[in-house]
Structure 1
Amino acid sequence: MSEAKLSDLPNCILIHILSFLNTKEAVRTCILSKRWEHIWKYIPTLILHYSDFSTLKSFDKFMYRVLSLRDDSVLPHTIDFDRSGGLKSGLLKKVAYYVLSHNVKLLRLRIDVKGDIGDILPCISSCQTLTSLKLSVSPKGRYNYGRTLFPKSLNLTALTFLHLGNFAFCAGDDGLVEPFSAFNSLNSLIIDNCTVKDAQILCISSEKLVSLTMRNHYFDVYQIELSAPSLCTFSFMGTPYQKFRGSSLSSVEQVNIDADMLAYYLEPPLVLLSWLSDLPNIKSLTVSASTLQVLSFVPDILKDKLLSASLMRSLKSLKVKLKPLSCGLSMASKITNFDKELKTGFKPSSLIPDGILDLLLKNSPSADVDILECSRIDDSFDHLAPFSSSLFPEFLQPSSNEHVMADLERRLQHLKQVKLQLKLYIHLATKEKIILEREELIALEEYEIMFLKTIAVLERQMRQMRDIEAL
């Protein structure tokens, strides 16, 4: 018997195979055979990512044609739309209309764009079959520094997975900020660079929530009231400013932390330490080397007997993932260890600071320890898009809780202080005849250039804002 050919397969099988490809690949595959020419129009998955195209213009053109030519009788179960940069209102409305008119069986929806949330929300609120939603809609406009307001009325009872990016959560009529209270089936929640507006406490209440992931790179400081008795996994990436309260942390057994820190800012380490103290039943802990560096900045952390007696009593596994420190954290490390270098000649020689691992393992000496080389912390953060590589994004993105001008002024003064610390470090090191390696001198010069460029950007932004306010 001759071997069956791929082209002999029935259409339903071919459609199922092509549904595993993104839409561009599916369309290109259908060109291979005359019989397959129109099969892509019936695929129940629609995956359009700008990163698959050489230019945004070619992406927009392809997207418009795909939405226009697909068979309208096909009800998709997955729509995944990712488009960087400003998007024309007409094109965004076309995406919104397509979702709205094909939402009967929609299970998974991902929209990541820069535009007007008003064009997106009506189509999402009507998708009652949704089980998975990722929504990241950045405000459009050069001088729009705020984040998009998350709707108070969104109610998707079937939703089990929710990923929100660049939103501000507002208080309801009762004064409480409870954006997730209507999602009764929620199992996994990702809060990506979101904040709280006109309040100080974010309530996360869910009986079924098992996994919570947070990423934060801004100055937003607020408390999180956590009521999630089933929570077992907590992951965090960025600068830890938010404090937790509530008893639900006692159920968490797996923790992944990739903490960072701004140069010469001493508050985040204290918050990070409080997290570890409030998580008494951790069995598996994965941290980056930068997380250990941040912990090492806590004053007298190795001498605090009360603290060491309370940490990590249930730990079974500890993984430390080595990766280069960020510019801000590396500078903070130099400043923090400045006195030690001058007085004792001590110089950190490892990404892992002395004594911190021993502190974490003191109450669980039999825990397995793995030290791994890697470029990022682990798979827990693979679903997060790469953060902007622009110079010091923490300084360039004002908080939504402050007036833009006051916020820019505060950041500018902070950055100038750090620049002065850098000059002091170089001056005293030279005066005390401390020998700096060539690589360190190059790094210090690069830091200074970055500081100067970032200060110039902030000053330009302030001038532009003053011009706008004067109109």
Structure 2
Amino acid sequence: MLLKPDVLLKQLAIALPLIDSLLQGLLSSRWKKLWKYVPGLNLMYYDFRNIFSIDHIAFLSFVDRFLGFNTQSCLQSFRLEYDSSDYGEPGDALTRRWINSVVRRKVKYLYLSDYSCDAYYDVQMPPTIYTCESLVSLTLSGLNLPSPKFVSLPSLKVISLVVIKFADEDDLALETLISHCPVLESLSIERSFIDDIEVLRVCSQSLLSFTHIADGSEGLVEDLLVIVDAPRLKFLNLRDQRTASFILKDLASLVDADIDTVFNLKLNKMFDPNDLQKRNMIRNFLVGISNIKNLTIASPTLEVIYDYSRCEPLPLFRNLSSLRVDFDGYRWEMLPVFLESCPNLQSLVMGSTNYPEKDGINILSEPRRVLSSSLKYVKIERPLKGEEMEMKLVSYILENSTGLKKLTLCLDDSIKKEESVIFRELITIPRLSTSCQVVVL
């Protein structure tokens, strides 16, 4: 079906940041007439200010006038990034009025970000945000949400909350919001120290993807709890240095997981074998993710798992076919312990992170069983420098992998001129798999 030129221009305009639409209006009289009627707003305050050299009052006036055009039409999207510290109380009232306006115009995609770090200018959303029945995607950052008294969001599929605070410090506010979204598929929460939610329950019969991000602090001692009860969940992403306990319920559908957490075991809070409550929690957590097919895990998490394995056997990850481990420095010595719990692993990638390096624990010197015959492909992304522990790992993989087809290694730039030395050493390493190809990049 061919679109009329005006319809095509409107669709193009809504896909562009409003700044680009306004600049196009300077070149085309036709575009100048159309941009104000596009069914959406995509505007960043700093871009608007820098390009048109206007102050915050003019910015507020512009957004207000835009929403005043064609008020009876539906609004497909409303995306606004601003700094409330620049305009204070009058702007707060305007923001609430804008939200009420876009709700009345049946907005589908709402993205609102206040990147001010000034807590004195917290903008509280109006309660109408909980009753926008047309809303499909909601992204809020740096805002203050009212405690939900009534929620009606029958179309909402995506929620992304970044550094959000709930009014009245209501512990159940977020839980209430999540549980009243009957078609919610994706939930992402990035927490900060301003929220007071000690127990977060994520209960959803429709949720497919859940991301939980929480940075830690040296001076903060917490005992946070996250409970996930989502039987249809397929993807789990935990980037969490604050939460002490995770309870995973009924995650039989889980396919992919990206895990970077130490269960609040940081600084001087080391794993205590006598802490039965922590041991039980870690055991149940590992059992909860043991059915996954693809796993990415961070080195600090692997260290906790290794400490736990010295007390109790790890559960088997029978379905795991692809594993990526991101190591800090060259701490690969803990890996064999975990690999023994992955009998059907086919692909292993070893990457690197920016975590501070720690001294190795020399686990590879201990006797290890032959790796599963299902392991076919291994890649070490961390550039090798020819150090002893690196070559020891390469030897372990080649000498204990019966079905390995390809081992890919990356060399550090500093030794590429002497790569023949590394090649000669690799050639001398016995290979249990006669069909294994070693590729050096």
Aligned to 1:136: 141
Number of positions where the alignment pairs a residue of Structure 1 with one of Structure 2: 327
Equivalent of residue 303 in structure 1, options 310, 313, 331: 310
In structure 2, the partner of 1:160 is: 157
1:82 corresponding residue in structure 2: 81
> How far apart are 1:117 and its partner, in Å?
4.4
Per-residue deviation, 1:133 = 0.8
The verdict on how the C-alpha distance between 1:256 and 1:199 changes in structure 2, with shifts beyond 3 A counting, is closer
Query: Contact 1:225–1:246 (CA<8 Å) still a contact in 2?
Result: yes
1:257 corresponds in structure 2 to 259
> CA–CA distance in 1 between the matches of 2:102 and 2:334?
58
| Structure having the larger proportion of residues in strand | 2
For residue 283 of structure 1, what is the aligned residue in structure 2? 293
5+ residue gaps, structure 2: 273-277, 356-441
Determine which structure has more spread, i.e. the larger CA radius of gyration: 2
Which residue pairs with 1:193 in the alignment? 191
- State the Cα distance separating 1:210 from its structure 2 match: 0.9
**Correspondent of 1:369 among 324, 328, 348:** 348
Contact 1:30/1:37 (<8 A) preserved: yes
Contact 1:170 1:177 in 2 (8 A): no
Q: What corresponds to 1:226 in structure 2?
A: 228
SS at match of 2:161: strand
Contact 1:129 1:158 in 2 (8 A): yes
Q: Which amino acid in 1 is paired with 2:260?
A: D
Pair 1:370–1:151, CA change in 2 (3 A) = same
Please tell me whether residue 62 in structure 1 is matched to residue 59 in structure 2.
yes
Alpha carbons of 1:253 and 1:102: their partners in 2 closer, same or farther (altered >3 Å)?
closer
The one-letter amino acid paired with 1:78 is: S
Q: Structure 1 residues 357 and 207 mapped into 2: Cα distance closer, same or farther (>3 Å)?
A: same
Structure with the greater relative contact order (CA < 8 A, sep ≥ 6): 1 or 2? 1
Instruction: Identify the structure with the greater helix proportion.
Output: 1
- For the pair 1:30 / 2:25, whether they are aligned, the reply is yes
Query: Map of 1:175-214 to 2, 5 A cutoff?
Result: 178-193=176-191, 201-214=199-212
Q: Does structure 1 residue 91 correspond to structure 2 residue 91?
A: yes
- Aligned runs of 1:264-343 on 2, under 5 Å? 264-266=268-270, 275-287=285-297, 291-296=298-303, 300-301=307-308, 303-304=310-311, 306-308=312-314, 310-321=315-326
Distance in 1, matches of 2:49 and 2:106, equals 32
Deviations 1:268-302 (A, max 9, x none): 99777763343120111123xxx213432567445
Q: What is the distance in 2 between the residues matched to 1:357 and 1:32?
A: 63
Deviation at 1:72, TM superposition (A): 2.9
Give the TM-score taking structure 2 as reference length.
0.63
TM-score where L is the length of structure 1: 0.60
Aligned-pair distance for 1:130?
0.6
Structure 2 distance, partners of 1:192, 1:244, is 16
Which residue of structure 2 lines up, in the alignment, with residue 41 of structure 1?
36
- Deviation of 1:374 after TM superposition, in Å, equals 7.8
Identical positions, percent: 21
Measured in 1, the distance between the counterparts of 2:91 and 2:110 equals 17
The 3-state SS of whatever aligns with 2:10 is: helix
